[in-house]
C-alpha cells in the first residue's frame, strides 16, 4: 500500500493549506502559517500515523485530519524554535526561517495559529465519532504540552549553558521530540480501537523510533549535506550542544541507532500475527537507517 500512503501525504498538504487559506481575517497570518507548511519537510509524523492505520486495515481517510493536526503542531514548534529568542536559526528545510521572511511578531502569531487551528481541525473531523475526536484532542494536547514537547523544549533551552549528563540528554529528547513522534501511533491505535496489548507494543515501537530519529538527526548534523538536511551542517556542534555524536563519537552513535532499530523491530515482530506490520517496517527502513 506504499503508493497509497504517498497519495495521502499529498492530501495532508491540501487539507492544511486549505484550512489556513480559507476566509481569513489577516492575509499575513494565512501567508505566514502556510509558508512553513509549504516549505516542505518529510511529513514523518503523518507517514507514521498512516503506516499504523494501515497495519489495522483502517481506511487512511480516518487519519487525514489528525495527521494534519499533528503536522501543524510540529510545524508551529519549528517556527517558535527558530526564533531569535530560542535557537536563532536563519535556515530551515533549506529555506529562510519564518521570522526571517515575515518578521518575529508574525512568526510568533503564525505558530500560535497553527497550534490553535490544529485542535479546530480535529474537532471538526466528521469521519470520526465524537468520543474518538475527544480522545485525540486529549492525546495531542498531552503530547504537545507541559508534560510533552513544551516541557522538553524548556529543558533543552535550560541545558544550553549547562553541562548535562547523557541521561539528562535522553530525558530532553524523550519529551522534546519523542512525545510528538509517539502521538501519531497513539492516535492511530485510538482510531483503530486496538486491543491494549497490541497498542502497548506499538507505543513502545514509537518510543524507540523517537530515539532513532534523534540519533539520526545528530549524525546528520555532522555528516549531512545542507541540501538534504535543510539546515547548516554542524549547527548543533557550534552551539556546544550535547548530542549522541559528541557523547559517543560517530561510530558509537551509529551503533546505538542499530541497537534501537533491533528493539523497535522486536516490538513489531511481537504483534505481526495480529496486524500487518509491513508499512511500519518501511517507516523504520525509510527514516531510521540512513548511511551517510
Q: How far apart are CA 128 and CA 69, in angstroms?
A: 14
- Selected from 1, 9, 17, 28, the binder of a second copy by CB under 8 A is 28
Grid coordinates in use for 89? 536559526
Q: Does 162 bind a second copy (CB under 8 A)?
A: no
Report 168-207 residues binding a second copy (CB under 8 A): 171, 175
Q: With respect to a second copy, which residue has the nearer C-beta, 46 or 152?
A: 152
Work out which of 16, 144, 199, 215 binds a second copy, going by CB under 8 A: 144
Tell me the window of 59-67, 141-149, 194-202, 203-211 that interacts with a second copy (CB under 8 A): 141-149
Q: To the nearest whole angstrom, how small is the minimum distance from the Cβ of residue 103 to a second copy?
A: 8
Q: Is 146 near a second copy (CB under 8 A)?
A: yes
User: Contact between 165 and a second copy (CB under 8 A)?
Assistant: no
Cβ nearer to a second copy, comparing 83 with 203: 83
**Cell numbers for 220:** 546528520
Helix (H) or strand (E) holding 71: helix 64-82
> Residue 194: in which H helix or E strand, if any?
none
Cβ–Cβ < 8 Å for 98, 31: no
Please, what is the minimum distance in Å from the beta carbon of residue 252 to a second copy?
Answer: 27
In the region spanning residues 29 to 68, those forming contacts with a second copy, defined by CB under 8 A, are 29-30, 33
The answer to whether the Cα torsion of 60, 61, 63, 66 is positive or negative is positive
Q: Is 153 an interacting residue with respect to a second copy (CB under 8 A)?
A: yes
- Which range touches a second copy (CB under 8 A), out of 23-31, 48-56, 217-225, 277-285? 23-31
Residue 192, Cα to own-chain centre: how many angstroms?
20
**Alpha-carbon torsion (112, 113, 114, 117), positive or negative:** positive
State in angstroms the smallest separation of the CB of 201 from a second copy: 25
Q: Residue 91: how many CB atoms within 10 A of its CB? A: 16
Q: Which residue from 40, 57, 43 is spatially nearest to 8, judged by alpha carbons? A: 43
C-alpha 221: how far from its chain's center?
A: 17
Euclidean distance between CA atoms 230 and 42, whole angstroms: 11
Residue 85 C-beta: closest distance to a second copy, Å: 3
Question: 534501537: which residue's cell?
Answer: 260
Q: Which is nearer to a second copy, 2 or 120 (CB)?
A: 120
Q: Residue 39: in which H helix or E strand, if any? A: none
Please tell me whether residue 138 binds a second copy under the rule CB under 8 A.
yes
Query: What's the CA gap between 88 and 86, in Å, rounded?
Result: 6
Site string for a second copy, 231-260 (x = CB under 8 A): ------------------------------
- Residue-wise DSSP of 178-190: IHHHHHHHHHHHH
If the CB atoms of residues 127 and 290 are measured against a second copy, the closer one turns out to be: 127
The secondary structure of residue 292, as a DSSP letter, is: -
- Interacting residues with a second copy (CB under 8 A): 20, 22-26, 28-30, 33, 76, 80, 83, 85-86, 103-106, 108-109, 111-113, 115-117, 119-120, 123-124, 130-131, 133-134, 137-138, 141-142, 144-147, 150-155, 157-158, 171, 175
Amino acid at each position: 500500500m506504499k503508493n497509497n500512503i504517498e497519495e495521502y501525504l499529498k492530501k495532508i498538504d491540501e487539507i492544511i493549506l486549505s484550512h489556513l487559506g480559507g476566509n481569513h481575517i489577516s492575509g499575513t497570518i494565512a501567508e505566514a502559517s502556510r509558508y512553513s507548511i509549504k516549505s516542505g519537510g518529510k511529513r514523518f509524523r503523518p507517514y507514521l500515523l498512516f503506516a499504523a492505520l494501515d497495519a489495522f486495515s483502517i481506511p487512511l481517510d480516518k487519519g487525514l485530519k489528525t495527521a494534519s493536526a499533528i503536522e501543524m503542531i510540529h510545524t508551529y514548534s519549528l517556527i517558535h524554535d527558530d526564533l531569535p529568542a530560542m535557537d536563532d536559526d536563519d535556515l530551515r528545510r533549506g529555506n529562510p526561517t519564518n521570522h526571517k521572511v515575515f518578521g518575529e511578531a508574525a512568526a510568533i502569531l503564525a505558530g500560535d495559529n497553527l497550534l490553535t487551528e490544529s485542535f479546530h481541525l480535529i474537532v471538526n473531523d466528521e469521519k470520526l465519532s465524537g468520543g474518538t475526536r475527544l480522545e485525540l484532542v486529549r492525546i495531542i494536547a498531552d503530547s504537545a504540552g507541559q508534560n510533552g514537547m513544551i516541557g522538553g523544549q524548556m529543558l533543552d533551552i535550560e541545558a544550553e549553558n549547562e553541562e548535562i549528563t547523557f541521561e539528562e540528554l535522553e530525558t530532553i529528547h524523550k519529551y522534546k521530540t519523542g512525545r510528538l513522534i509517539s502521538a501519531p501511533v497513539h492516535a492511530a491505535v485510538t482510531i483503530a480501537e486496538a486491543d491494549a496489548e497490541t497498542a502497548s507494543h506499538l507505543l513502545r515501537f514509537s518510543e524507540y523510533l523517537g530515539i532513532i530519529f534523534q540519533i539520526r538527526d545528530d549524525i546528520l548534523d555532522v555528516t549531512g549535506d545542507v541540501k538534504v538536511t535543510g539546515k547548516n551542517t554542524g549547527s548543533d556542534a557550534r552551539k556546544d550542544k550535547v548530542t549522541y555524536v559528541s557523547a559517543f563519537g560517530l561510530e558509537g552513535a551509529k551503533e546505538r541507532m542499530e541497537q534501537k532499530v533491533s528493539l523497535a523491530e522486536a516490538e513489531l515482530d511481537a504483534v505481526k500475527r495480529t496486524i500487518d506490520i509491513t508499512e511500519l517496517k518501511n517507516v523504520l527502513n525509510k527514516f531510521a537507517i540512513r548511511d551517510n
